[in-house]
């Protein structure tokens, strides 16, 4: 009799957390072995945290890719971590939505049909999520080339909803949202930027992940959260959050 190892085990890694849940709908949230394209890892598999229950706006079976501490500039817009295939503290990828940072090999290895982004203010338990319906071979393939990909999410319910019930702020005369949202004044790898002028020539506000911008008194080191100044709708804001990026 041949023993078949469970999908997601070291001996039988899965292509994604979604595949594990499809095989076993009762699979609990936790760490599983996921196939990745990295010969430095034994068996081209990495121990990755999977969320196996639907949470907020995200489906069950999402695969962890990144965890960002917005109080640090590790993952700011211009960081090479967005454009290379190098892991960052992969040992932290074995835990869920905590206060550690990580970049896993799933960043360049795991195909997806949607992205789940989550925000958490430090020292709070509340986590808010948004599902972005974009299909790609990997997050690296979507982000690293630097090409702008537009999204059309509701600003109040989705982007501002990531910080609810706490107040958030954006300039509203012009907004631009999506992947690789960038001008000379502001950038967000995933998020929304706003300007008090039409055409968005110099946006001084954003909500997002992998952010950067310092005009109008904003904190240049904030890499995730909400920074806003110069006439934003809810006044100046300097909110640094934890950011969690999963794919489905």
Q: What is the pLDDT of residues 116-162, one digit of tens each?
A: 999 999 888 899 999 999 999 999 999 999 999 999 999 999 999 99
Confidence of residue 25 (pLDDT cuts 50, 70, 90): very high
- For residue 136, the SS3 value is strand
Residue 96: CB atoms within 10 A of its CB come to 17
Cα–Cα distance for residue pair 125/198, rounded to 1 Å: 37
What mean pLDDT, rounded, does the chain reach? 96
**pLDDT tens for each residue of 27-68:** 999 999 999 999 889 889 999 999 999 988 899 999 999 999
Contacts 24+ apart (CB under 8 A), 89-97: 90/46, 92/67, 93/46, 93/47, 93/48, 93/49, 93/64, 93/67, 94/31, 94/47, 94/48, 94/49, 95/49, 96/29, 96/49, 96/51, 96/64, 96/244, 97/67, 97/127, 97/242, 97/244
- For residue 9, the SS3 value is strand
Q: What is the pLDDT of residue 40?
A: 86
5 Cβ partners below 8 Å, 6+ apart?
11, 12
Q: What is the 3-state secondary structure (H, E, C) of 26-76?
A: CCCCEEEEEECCCCCCHHHEEEEEEECCCECCECCCEEEEEEEECCCCCCC
**pLDDT tens for each residue of 202-214:** 999 999 999 999 9
Q: What is the pLDDT of residue 3?
A: 63
State which H helix or E strand residue 244 sits in. Answer: strand 242-247
Structure-token pair, residue 152: 């059309």
What Rg do the C-alpha atoms of the chain give, in angstroms? 18
**pLDDT tens for each residue of 73-102:** 999 999 999 999 999 999 999 999 999 999
Confidence of residue 2 (pLDDT cuts 50, 70, 90): low
Q: CB–CB of 187/224 below 8 Å?
A: no
Structure-token pair, residue 87: 């892991």
Q: CB–CB of 223/211 below 8 Å?
A: yes
């Amino acid at each position: 009799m041949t023993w078949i190892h469970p999908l997601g085990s070291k001996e039988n890694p899965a292509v994604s957390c979604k595949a594990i849940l499809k095989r076993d709908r009762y699979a609990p949230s936790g760490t599983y072995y996921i196939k990745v394209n990295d010969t430095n890892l034994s068996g081209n598999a990495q121990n990755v945290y999977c969320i196996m229950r639907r949470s907020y706006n995200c489906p069950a079976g999402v695969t962890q890719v990144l965890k960002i501490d917005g109080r640090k500039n590790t993952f700011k817009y211009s960081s090479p971590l967005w454009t290379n295939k190098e892991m960052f503290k992969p040992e932290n990828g074995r835990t869920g939505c905590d206060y550690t940072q990580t970049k896993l090999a799933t960043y360049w290895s795991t195909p997806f049909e949607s992205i789940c982004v989550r925000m958490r203010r430090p020292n709070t338990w509340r986590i808010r999520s948004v599902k972005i319906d974009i299909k790609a071979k990997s997050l690296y393939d979507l982000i690293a080339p630097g090409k702008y990909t537009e999204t059309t999410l509701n600003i109040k319910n989705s982007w501002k909803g990531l910080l609810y019930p706490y107040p958030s702020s954006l300039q509203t005369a012009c907004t631009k949202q999506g992947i690789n949202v960038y001008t000379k004044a502001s950038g967000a790898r995933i998020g929304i930027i706003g300007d008090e002028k039409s055409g968005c020539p110099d946006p001084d506000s954003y909500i997002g992940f992998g952010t950067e911008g310092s005009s109008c008194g904003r904190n240049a080191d904030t890499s995730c959260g909400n920074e806003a100044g110069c006439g934003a709708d809810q006044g100046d804001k300097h909110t640094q959050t934890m950011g969690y990026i999963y794919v489905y």
